[in-house]
Chain A
């Protein structure tokens, strides 16, 4: 326990270590938060969800905070619904059966470009007689545009841009521009101010009802933006954290521990055991690690846990085994080992109780420093198209973005968000590992 305290005290002498610890702790916090708020199955369902899950989001939306840094303000997406009360609905009964429903939503529009799209999702209740709805658009400069009159079935979707009748009456197929721009201005200019969407509905049965969801697809969305499939990127960024950490930590720990045990066994028994381990290490050196992972990913399964297993299996006989061996060879001759032998300790007791524990301080910096490599390995596999097909990971996001040419098309946020997170993770662990190395290897301390 004292050693632990000393380590902590030592760490605080290095600003980079404090930074590293902060990053690691923040990441662990995010990971815990992600696992608590979104269950595994839910994350997978959302990530794999199509249009039915994500219809409320625009495609290719940059994060909403972009407006803070941009001169041209772009519209931010939103959605309102009468079912949850975010859009007002007043029902006025006219007779026993007939009622009129007035649904209205006003919003301030202060952006410089028209939105991508506006959609209305009607959900109605009736037995035989379809309810009726007229949609009216009020602009801030006092114009009133009739959008549509229509009977609404149980599930009806109305897309403003795709209504040929509306296009005809507005005399353009750029519906969004027509609705948001000043028709009298010479140069195209957005009319800023309060817009109102008004829906006047009529129901013809008792118990019949209309509910509407108004989905406004701007160019910006949420904290992280969306991708090609309208998915909120916040989900993979958040949920990618525990996956990346799990992969990195388990792989680093598994590899380091197993390597150490094998090196200890080899040096302790010596002879052919040692020789065999050395030869395996040499063969392992020429085995193309990534190539094998790729083969397994292509031929058998892309499950991240299988990849993890293979990573550990191939990593055990890495270059580190030689370093450990050299150190074990020295400590094998130490007098405390001799003492243990003298009292008749068994080989396994000596290996696990005397040889390995002495090495643990040396193991810790290596272990922490090797985490980034594995985190990036997972991302690399995903970028190669071998990421786990069902899990939302950072690498997957980069892969999707690359496949869609995000860099060529200027959608930098899509690549940069996961990239920055990966970078933070990598640097955080690396800085911590670096400082630990200096603490446990006093020779490095004043160099």
Chain B
């Protein structure tokens, strides 16, 4: 990106160019490393806080104990060496083993030490075993239950975020070009609609397109039974994706466009833009180089905050659309009172948020020249 937008005079001073590129790379690497480190610390604190909240009522302890009990009982029942024991003797053996295991895992230690162990477990996604829920493959590992659901969530969040981001920028730019026309006025008038969350539009869309018009499915990921060939399968997923994605987009698009268009307008009245226009540069160039470029970092920051809010909203959007992602798993876990899954989901969400923030940070660094030039690193 740097070579395209900040062209150095071709042929002249190749050595200097190389060193600039090198140092830009080094700065990027350093910036990334610093961000990774900060994020790691942030996530650690976040997960620790999650564990603290969850364990105020002793719930993480319960998760651990259940896991120990399940594991030991199964191990002893399955062990052929103990087959000849009477049930009472077996029970006694199980109890003894459980006590030993609890001592080994430090459940008899004070909370401050125990919580550190939980922290390590949480950070390594060692989330324990679910009480009632199982993954599609029948595993009770919370990690597997949740990771299995991740692709569906990423599909929905990714699609809607990307459309939202690029769609808003393109529309906002074109509106800032001819502001005051009727489309512009409509967008301004509609921007308060962004106070309504996606799941809410979802209800209305389901009502209109699924219940009344019967053109789109009520919810779910694919038709049931799922189509066998992969093209039909993809088409079916796409059909199911329309309503949730449209709900997410509708719920934030007008405000985003309005905010960004205003931002572009403010920047397009800057002196250097006027100069560029006076020089007779084509409007596209003016827009790309003199308006979009300096505003992009701020826009990305705004977008990051938007995506973070969206993450929260997806839980309910997925529930409303019966979209088999993380959100609905969390919803079902609440219904089934499956504490390990609830704590696990919260930790996974913390990770997802951190990754989102991190990616946007990196993207920010790519478009913000100050990071590369080095005047204002991190």
Give me the interface of A with B, judged by CB distance under 8 Å. Answer: 16, 20, 282-283, 285-292, 294-300, 319, 369, 372-373, 376, 379-380, 383-386, 398, 402, 407-408, 410, 412, 415-416, 419, 422-423, 426-427, 429-431, 433-434, 443-444, 447
Contacts and interface: CB of A to CB of B under 8 A. Distances in A.
B207 interface: yes
A298 B334 contact: yes
A430 B207 contact: no
B315 A384 contact: yes
Given A285-B308, A427-B196, A447-B266, 16 more contacts: A20-B192, A286-B46, A286-B353, A291-B330, A295-B54, A298-B334, A299-B57, A372-B195, A380-B199, A380-B313, A384-B334, A385-B331, A407-B206, A423-B196, A431-B192, A443-B266
B335 A287 contact: no
Contacts of B218: 407-408
A288 B312 contact: yes
A298 B339 CA distance: 8
B116 interface: no
A447 B269 CA distance: 12
Interface in B191-225: 191-197, 199-200, 203-204, 206-207, 210-211, 218
Given A294-B334, A376-B197, A447 B308 contact: no
B73 interface: no
A300 B357 contact: no
A309 to B, nearest CB: 13
Contacts of A410: 211
Nearest to A371: B195
A288 B350 contact: yes
B195 A299 contact: no
A422 B192 CA distance: 14
A423 B349 contact: no
A252 B53 CA distance: 24
A285 B45 CA distance: 11
Nearest to A376: B197
Contacts of B343: 295
Contacts of B59: 299
A433 B319 CA distance: 30
B315 to A, nearest CB: 6
Mostly, the B contact residues are helix
B197 A427 contact: no
A422 B337 CA distance: 28
Interface string B39-59: 100110110011001101101
Contacts of A288: 50, 311-312, 346, 349-350, 353
B13 to A, nearest CB: 39
Contacts of A434: 191-192
20 contacts: A16-B192, A283-B46, A286-B353, A287-B49, A291-B50, A291-B346, A294-B315, A294-B334, A294-B342, A295-B346, A298-B342, A299-B54, A300-B56, A376-B197, A383-B319, A383-B320, A407-B211, A412-B211, A423-B196, A430-B195
A283 B315 contact: no
Contacts of A412: 207, 211
A119 to B, nearest CB: 32
A294 B349 CA distance: 12
Given A299-B54, A373-B195, A283 B200 contact: no
A447 B262 contact: yes
A387 B200 CA distance: 16
Contacts of A292: 50, 53, 346
A20 B192 CA distance: 10
A47 B187 CA distance: 41
Nearest to A441: B262
B140 to A, nearest CB: 19
Contact of B342 (A295, A429, A447): A295
Contacts of B206: 407
Contacts of B315: 290-291, 294, 384
Contact of B350 (A20, A287, A319, A379): A287
A291 B315 CA distance: 9
Nearest to A386: B334
A407 B212 CA distance: 10
Given A287-B350, A296-B53, A386-B334, A444 B262 contact: yes
Contacts of A319: 305
Contacts of B345: 291
A383 B211 contact: no
Query: Which one of A298, A416, A430 has the highest number of Cβ atoms from chain B below 10 Å of its Cβ?
Result: A298
B354 interface: yes
A294 B330 contact: yes
Contacts of A384: 315-316, 319, 331, 334
A296 B55 CA distance: 10
B268 to A, nearest CB: 11
A189 to B, nearest CB: 29
A398 B196 CA distance: 15
Contacts of A369: 195
B57 A300 contact: yes
